[in-house]
Amino acid sequence: MTFDLLFFTFRVLAVQNTSKILAGFAKFAALIQGMRKKLRVNDISDYQMAVADLRQLDPNMPDLDWAIVSKFRPRLETPAQWQAIRPFVISVVLMTQPRDFNPVRTSMTILTRYIAWVWATTGTELRFEKIFTQRFLDAFVEIGIADRSPAYRFDVYRRIAVLIEKQTDLRLKRIPEPEPSDKMVPYTASEIARFQSWALGQNSDRRRHNAYSILALCGGAGLSAAELIDTRVEHLTNDGVHTTVTVQGKRPRIVPIATAWLPALAKAVDGRLDGYLFHGNRGEEYPPRLVQGYLSEQKWDLRVSAARLRLTWIIQQFEKDLPLAVLKEICGFKNFASVDRYMHLIAARSTGDFFEQVAGSVVAR
């Protein structure tokens, strides 16, 4: 029955008894909705049962995580394509033993797209050692996801490369991490002032600790998300004047935390004597994803970014006229060339303001 016919019938009957028709129409709509709901539940149940035997590949996976895997429906070119690769995709995802919503959903999304592309493009047999190779991974990143950002392609490449290396004896080459986007700019003073209310508004102590740790360490000491993840309460030191953090990871260093961010640090620590500043499941192969996942869940008009907070802190250090050697050390730069990527964000300075220092008339700091 078309919409026009329903409308015409309704109008005719309404002339006779409007109230009765409205009541009958409401019951009819409720009946249809109930039938649809029932069908939807049965459909999902059958859909999940089709892969139920695969759960034994990771029997300890929590029910909520398995529900994400077994209900997952990607947008591929045809339903038949997903039906053909679905068991293989799920078996590969379960190899990684992901936990929690974001890691599970991300693994399903990335591996589905990769496997579907390789299988549809090359017709390769659905076996791990056939699908997951250096050649196919390179082609997928260069062609299959050429429309995505450099950061996304880097992340996908890294995830799949780690998976391949864990499951085989292969050692894959790595692609260089992309430079920070020129579109990223430091936060303004007014934007920074609003972050306290964002952190305070988190709905649990755990989430508040995470929010304040991002502000204090990324905004107050310039740590990256990877460095934040590795930071523990034991890495903080106070000498009675300054509070410092001993940064872990590839660029170990000691950084004083900016005075303006010390209240946020106190709320992040919240009286604890040990433990990680940022809470999360560090079983994932790329722990910084915990920070990104946490921030992606935030529903706020101003997007909070650990990378942008670090960028803001770095630009503040440039504005203090620190010597390049000090900047390199305190910011954790790999080399002096790293300075170039930030030059377009530094306010122009007049050479004339430094003539006396260049001439030696005054002592430079």
Question: pLDDT tens track of the chain, all 365 residues?
Answer: 444 434 434 443 443 444 444 455 455 454 445 544 444 555 668 888 888 899 899 999 999 899 999 999 988 877 889 999 999 999 999 998 888 777 888 889 999 999 999 999 999 999 999 999 999 999 999 999 988 878 788 888 988 998 898 888 888 887 776 665 556 789 999 999 999 899 998 888 999 999 999 999 999 999 998 899 999 999 999 998 999 999 998 899 999 999 999 999 999 999 999 999 998 876 655 667 778 777 877 777 788 889 899 999 999 999 888 888 999 999 998 888 788 778 878 877 777 777 777 887 766 55
Q: Is the pTM of this model over 0.85?
A: no
Q: Which pLDDT belongs to residue 237?
A: 96
Q: Which pLDDT belongs to residue 361?
A: 72
In angstroms, the CA 219 to CA 257 distance is 9
The closest of 64, 140, 128 to 96, measured between CA atoms, is 128
In angstroms, the CA 286 to CA 96 distance is 12
Residue 361 C-alpha from the chain's centroid: 52
Q: Which pLDDT belongs to residue 365?
A: 57
Q: Which pLDDT belongs to residue 5?
A: 36
Q: Which pLDDT belongs to residue 182?
A: 56
User: Parallel, antiparallel, or unpaired for β 243-247 and 236-238?
Assistant: antiparallel
In angstroms, the CA 118 to CA 32 distance is 42
Which residue intervals of 96-133 are DSSP H helices?
101-122, 128-131
